[in-house]
Amino acid sequence: MEGLRWRTFVAVLGVAASLVWVLPNLVNLSEVSWWPSKQKLNYGLDIQGGLHLVMGVDVDGVVKESTTRLISTIKAEMTKDNVAYADVKSEKPESGEVQVVVADAAGKAAVEKFISDKYSTVLQVVSSTDTSVTARYFDAYLNDYKNRVIQQSIETIRNRIDEFGVAEPSISQQGANRILIQLPGMADAEKAKQLINTTAKLDFMIVSHEKTPQELQVMIAEVEKAGNFNMENTKYSDYVTRVNEALAGKLPEKTVVYFEKAPNATTIDAGAIPYLLKTDTDLGGGALDDAFVGYDQYGSPQVSLQFNSAGAQKFADLTGNNVGKQMAIVLDKIVKSAPSVRDRIAGGSAVITLGGGRDRNGMMEEAKMISTSLRAGALPASLEQLEERRVGPTLGADAIGKAKLGSYVGAAIIIIFMIAYYKSMGVVASVALGLNILGIFALLTTFGATLTLPGIAGIALTVGFAVDANVLINERIREELRMGHGIKVAVAEGYNRAMSAIIDANVTTAATAVVLLYFGTGPVRGFAVTLLIGIVTSMFANVFVSKVIVDTLVNKFNLKKLSV
């Protein structure tokens, strides 16, 4: 009896805890301060609607940028090691190819030895002539690098989405260079979309004065006329690319043209100031430690930056080597400000000013967006939105309504069958089944999981194998009663003998669910989560609680006969 008392206490405690966690989904308890839980169940995109985005990742652009940095590094290291060379360049930077120009055969041998010694795990020599050596990234290295770019982009997007509290976003790789983003709930979808599309690629670049702004404007006007395009009818990123491609050969080496929004312009299309910037500074958002909104001496919002230790040293060297020059702070190829470097800036701090000509609220919103984007991490690659679908909640409501109807009908059929076939024990099984479903929703709410339509399918499957456990128990009790045993012995033996078969069935189902959870994505994982939770609640409700109910009836209330 002592054991029964403790088992009854655990059963009542479990049921009470389930009610506590489930009730906020049914009743508004936000104003009830003493209620221990306010958390509600999250619904997936297929139930409550939301935003479906497919983003293209500019992986080739990252490889091209990496190749450019590699060329600078190789030059510096060969100069340091006294390896003679005429030039280092790349005709196919997007494929990671580097060409070292040499004067003679001896120079070629020295370059090949240098690459073999210094870059044996990164570069392979693919061809050579009397005057050049061509090397390229190993395929395995390049594929791994591209994959890391995608995964870093996914993690960065996830961090940004988390900044706005979108519940249970689904962010996964799709193909070689795409990312699928699903954001349940429309409340934060627009902000999240804006944040995702803001790639927040930060660069610090020295302004070159080899061409004046007036000369640049004339050159840009000429290529716009020749190419029949302008900033108003072309997306900004495409416009910048087309301008720089058209000006290739006319601009100094290792320079690029980016634009700053004019102080009194509302958009960059309405007024843009061109800047000729050097591309070899190699200081970007990866060197940042923190970014936050601050205020200048006039109380206007600005973005304050704090570099990490390595970035602080690079920033100090960059400013120290360019005293008297302008240093542009570039965000997503847009020049945010270009202050003059008056002295070497140590300490690892910098500021992005937003310019005037706007209302304070507009400047504050932009400062918050920039700081949030940078704090969440700079994307390693630019993103392009390839697809957008809005899933309306009406479709989800209709689907979940049908799923509810199917669940109610299925549960009613099961309950009617169990009571008709097993009589009193069928009633116990039906009560346990209700507690099982209550437990599933309680655990889903507790874990902050997201309920999707495949998850509802998992709950339906859980109901099936939960009843199966009671069928095994009831049939074993029937066998014991046929053998002439009393009700107490029949119940005890029935549960004990059925337990091994129940455990075997649940272990194999759990193993399958774990595999689905590990290898699956999106809806498959939702199905696996509800399946695993259902196994736990089934063992608790349909085995443990049902035995407590039967033992209480037989042992405490001395029930002499129990129809099975």
d(CA 196, CA 152): 14
Among 82, 31, 77, which Cα is nearest to 98's? 77
End-to-end CA distance of the chain: 24
Residues 92 and 233 in one domain: no
Please indicate, yes or no, if residue 243 is contained in any of the structural domains: yes
> If you search the block for the tokens 């009730």, which residue do you land on?
23
Please indicate, yes or no, if residue 162 is contained in any of the structural domains: no
Question: 180 and 157 in contact (C-beta within 8 Å)?
Answer: no
Q: Could you tell me which residue, 124 or 196, shows the higher pLDDT?
A: 124
Residues 404 and 380 in one domain: no
Question: 171 and 180 in contact (C-beta within 8 Å)?
Answer: yes
Q: What is the CATH number of the domain that holds 89?
A: 3.30.1370
- Judge residue 9's burial from the number of C-beta atoms within 10 Å of its C-beta, 0-12 exposed, 13-18 middle, 19 or more buried: exposed
Helix axes 59-80, 105-118, angle to 10 degrees: 110
Average pLDDT (373-392) is: 69
Among candidate residues 355, 388, 421, the one where a domain is terminated: 388
pLDDT at 242 over 80: yes
Among candidate residues 324, 354, 388, the one where a domain is terminated: 388
Please indicate, yes or no, if residue 564 is contained in any of the structural domains: no
Q: What is the CATH number of the domain that holds 280?
A: 3.30.1360.200
- The 10 Å Cβ neighbour count of residue 398 is 11
d(CA 393, CA 405): 18
Residues 273 and 383 in one domain: yes
Average pLDDT (342-359) is: 70
Q: Give me the pLDDT at residue 189, please.
A: 57
Please indicate, yes or no, if residue 157 is contained in any of the structural domains: no
pLDDT at 159 over 80: no
Please indicate, yes or no, if residue 301 is contained in any of the structural domains: yes
Q: Could you tell me which residue, 461 or 282, shows the higher pLDDT?
A: 461
Residues 68 and 92 in one domain: yes
pLDDT tens-digit profile of 422-453?
Answer: 988 999 999 999 999 899 999 988 887 777 77
Going 23 to 29 to 33 to 38, the CA torsion angle's sign is positive
Radius of gyration of the chain (CA): 33
Please indicate, yes or no, if residue 215 is contained in any of the structural domains: yes
Residues 220 and 341 in one domain: yes
Domain count, the chain: 3
d(CA 564, CA 550): 12
332 DSSP assignment: T
Please indicate, yes or no, if residue 53 is contained in any of the structural domains: no
Contacts of residue 370, defined as CB under 8 A and 6 or more positions apart, other chains included, come to: 200, 291, 303, 331, 336, 352
The CA–CA distances, whole Å, from 434 to 200, 439, 471 equal 50, 9, 16
Amino acid code (one letter) for 318: L
Among candidate residues 78, 113, 142, the one where a domain is terminated: 142
d(CA 446, CA 64): 47
> If you search the block for the tokens 């990671």, which residue do you land on?
96
Contacts of residue 145, defined as CB under 8 A and 6 or more positions apart, other chains included, come to: 63, 66, 137
Residues 302 and 337 in one domain: yes
This prediction's pTM = 0.53
Residues 31 and 66 in one domain: no
Average pLDDT (6-21) is: 90
Q: Give me the pLDDT at residue 27, please.
A: 81
pLDDT tens-digit profile of 457-481?
Answer: 888 888 888 888 888 999 999 998 8
Residues 493 and 543 in one domain: yes
Please indicate, yes or no, if residue 115 is contained in any of the structural domains: yes
Residues 359 and 455 in one domain: no
Q: What is the CATH number of the domain that holds 6?
A: 1.20.1640.10
Residues 379 and 292 in one domain: yes
pLDDT at 358 over 80: no
- The 10 Å Cβ neighbour count of residue 163 is 15
Reported as half-sphere exposure (CB side, CA atoms, 13 A), residue 249 has a value of: 3
| Residues constituting the chain | 564
Q: Give me the pLDDT at residue 370, please.
A: 64
Residues 539 and 466 in one domain: yes
Q: Give me the pLDDT at residue 545, please.
A: 92
pLDDT tens-digit profile of 66-103?
Answer: 888 788 888 888 888 888 888 888 888 888 899 998 88
Going 511 to 513 to 514 to 518, the CA torsion angle's sign is positive
DSSP, collapsed to helix, strand or coil, labels residue 102 as coil
Question: In which band, very low, low, confident or very high, does the pLDDT at 277 lie, cut at 50, 70 and 90?
Answer: very high
Phi, psi of 136 (to 5 degrees): -145, 155
Which two structure tokens, joined as six digits, stand for 313?
């040293």
Residues 263 and 114 in one domain: no
Helix runs in 131-270, H state only: 139-163, 189-197, 213-227, 236-246
The whole-chain average pLDDT of the chain stands at 81
* Parent domain of 95: 62-142
> How far does Cα 220 stand from its chain's mean position?
39
pLDDT tens-digit profile of 168-220?
Answer: 677 888 888 888 888 776 555 566 667 676 656 778 889 998 888 888 888 99
Question: 319 and 205 in contact (C-beta within 8 Å)?
Answer: no
Question: 327 and 312 in contact (C-beta within 8 Å)?
Answer: no
pLDDT at 377 over 70: no
| H/E run at residue 205 | strand 202-206
d(CA 248, CA 135): 25
Which two structure tokens, joined as six digits, stand for 132?
């050049």
pLDDT at 373 over 60: no
> How far does Cα 278 stand from its chain's mean position?
33
